[in-house]
Amino acid sequence: MTSHSDEQSSPPSEPSPDAIVSELHAIREQIVAEYGGDLMKLTRAAQECQKASGRRIIRRGELASSKKATTASGRARTAD
């Protein structure tokens, strides 16, 4: 008779990187298909969602080009 303590169960295996990448590609294709393959429509819809969120949108290079520094009191000042 075999006891359950003698049986070794292997830990659940994680999906392979290829499986994850394949899943991401499938999701991307599904999203693109929702917009009839038109990436401009998809882009406009994404931008509308961003705007509707009310969150601050930081554009590429915006922070790097900013000449404002924060003082110890937390107030913004212009760098000299």
Phi-psi region of 16 (alpha: psi -120 to 50; beta: other; left: phi over 0): beta
What pLDDT does 61 receive? Answer: 84
Q: Is the pLDDT of residue 62 over 90?
A: no
Q: Is the pLDDT of residue 35 over 90?
A: yes
What pLDDT does 59 receive? Answer: 85
This prediction has a pTM of 0.50
Neighbours of 47 (CB within 10 A): 11
Compute CA distances 32 → 8, 26, 42, 47, 48, whole Å.
45, 10, 7, 15, 16
Higher pLDDT, 12 or 78: 12
